[in-house]
Amino acid sequence: MSLRIYNTLTRALEEFSPLEPGHVRMYVCGMTVYDLCHMGHARSVVAFDVVRRWLEASGYRVTFVRNITDIEDKIIRRAVENGETVRSLTDRMIGEMYRDFDALGVARPTHDPRATEYVPQMLAIVQALEGKGLAYRAGGDVNYAVRRFPGYGKLSGKTLDELHAGERVAVAEGKEDPLDFVLWKAAKAGEPADATWDSEYGRGRPGWHIECSAMSCALLGETFDIHGGGADLQFPHHENEIAQSEGANGVPLASVWMHNGFVNIDNEKMSKSLGNFFTIREVLAKFDPETLRFFIVRAHYRSPLNYSDVHLEDARGSLRRLYTALDAVPPAPVAIDWSEPHAARFKAAMDSDFGTPEAVAVLFELAAEVNRTRSPERAGLLQALGGTLGLLQGDPRAFLRAGAALDEASIQRLIEARAAAKKARDFAEADRIRKELLEQGIVLKDSPAGTTWEAAQ
């Protein structure tokens, strides 16, 4: 079975075929870098990291672009509040962003363009839109005339009348229609010098939507294969990208549109406005990065993801089961044979719109077989299949021992003391040592090969 992807634009599962055989060009909307990244960001970057990994595992060469928005109203406000330059703020937050993403095992994109590096390309699109009658000047601003673009609403599935319902024309903003959006914003008094650029429209800066149109087309071409992002970006951001790019270039922007689901807290969408959001850094203070990645991966990318400590603890326990199999049977290096039954089921799941829940279920089936057969080749296949999801690549023993309250040398001394007590047939002392270790979060495992330990769940 060939790869099929759910296309938000057509609302259908479609067979995927890249425009250029063997080469996938993919763009995913990235971060606005004014603060630490939150769980919503983690969900998106991990979801599309899995997409990229599976495309590569399927034999495609992938050019992956994830942009960085480093000029925007929130960034300017935060820089002014901090008393620092925009560049100082964004440089620092990009470093923090990659600290989090690297911890989660998210591979660096092929290109991670900063919006501020593409202002000339943005202005070229604005000029093209103005020349085609799709944009108009309003003082120092330039706005997009939504009603002049026939296809507006095709991604969100909304008609202009539905979008217009209940709105008022914002005359004070210089818009001809409330649905119109800004392409170029005139500079305001008191804004930092490094937040504006010269243009034929006067000093100003780009609107948020135009940034992605410029960067995606500059790096991937006027039409590329996959455009992705969170479900919250479907409207208006991605709808506006289509209007800008297709209005200027006259060709489709992307063949396939993909959107990952929301992160919910107690079944309510996580958002800063509701104050119910968690930063990645806060979550990683309590849970290891691979547990967080596994928690995200085992849910389908389009489904809602309900966050709670209970769900993270369950994910940690499940991941431990996989690592326990790899710890008991050291994996042999293997090349994946996709005709092998487990690998074939895994591939079928992933080829059906990146069906990670079913793929993860195959990993547990394979772990059970590893435990039964003690086969290093089966363990190697488990590790290799996990690798296509960015999982199970760490040292199993290190993962199982992470979080122990005692250092390894202290634990080993107590294990040796227990062994001596057992040899002297002082079983009460041996049981006391086992209990002492358990109280400190250390579980002992006896086998014919000796005693090993791991951290309690």
Q: Is the dihedral of CA 359, 363, 369, 375 positive or negative?
A: positive
Measured between alpha carbons, how far is 121 from 127 in angstroms, rounded to an integer? 10
E strand or H helix at 256: strand 254-260
E strand or H helix at 327: helix 309-328
By the 8 A CB rule, do 227 and 242 touch?
no
By the 8 A CB rule, do 205 and 213 touch?
no
Q: Which fold has domain 265-399?
A: Four Helix Bundle (Hemerythrin (Met), subunit A) (1.20.120)
- Cβ neighbours, 10 Å, residue 91: 13
Burial classification of residue 128, based on how many CB atoms lie within 10 Å of its CB (0-12 exposed, 13-18 middle, 19 or more buried): middle
Angle between helices 356-373 and 341-351 (to 10 degrees): 170
E strand or H helix at 48: helix 39-57
Half-sphere exposure of 112 (CA within 13 A, CB side): 14
Instruction: Give the pTM.
Output: 0.89
Q: Model confidence over 69-126: pLDDT tens digits?
A: 999 999 999 999 999 999 999 999 999 999 999 999 999 999 999 999 999 999 999 9
- Measure Cα distances from 24 to 30, 77, 88 in Å: 18, 38, 34
Q: Model confidence over 334-377: pLDDT tens digits?
A: 999 999 999 999 999 999 999 999 999 999 999 999 999 999 99
Residue 326 CA to chain centroid, in angstroms?
A: 27
Span 25-260: which CATH code? 3.40.50.620
Q: Model confidence over 121-134: pLDDT tens digits?
A: 999 999 999 999 99
Burial classification of residue 138, based on how many CB atoms lie within 10 Å of its CB (0-12 exposed, 13-18 middle, 19 or more buried): middle
Q: What is the pLDDT of residue 406?
A: 47
Strand partners, 141: 138
Domain map (residue ranges) of the chain: 25-260, 265-399, 403-455
pLDDT digit string (tens) for the chain, length 457 residues: 699 999 999 999 999 999 999 999 999 999 999 999 999 999 999 999 999 999 999 999 999 999 999 999 999 999 999 999 999 999 999 999 999 999 999 999 999 999 999 999 999 999 999 999 999 999 899 999 999 999 999 999 988 888 776 444 444 467 999 999 999 999 998 889 899 999 999 999 999 999 999 999 999 999 999 999 999 999 999 999 999 999 999 999 999 999 999 999 877 777 766 777 899 999 999 999 999 999 999 999 999 999 999 999 999 999 999 999 999 999 999 999 999 999 999 999 999 999 999 999 999 999 999 999 999 999 999 999 999 999 999 999 999 988 655 456 656 766 766 877 777 786 676 677 677 566 555 677 777 767 776 666 6
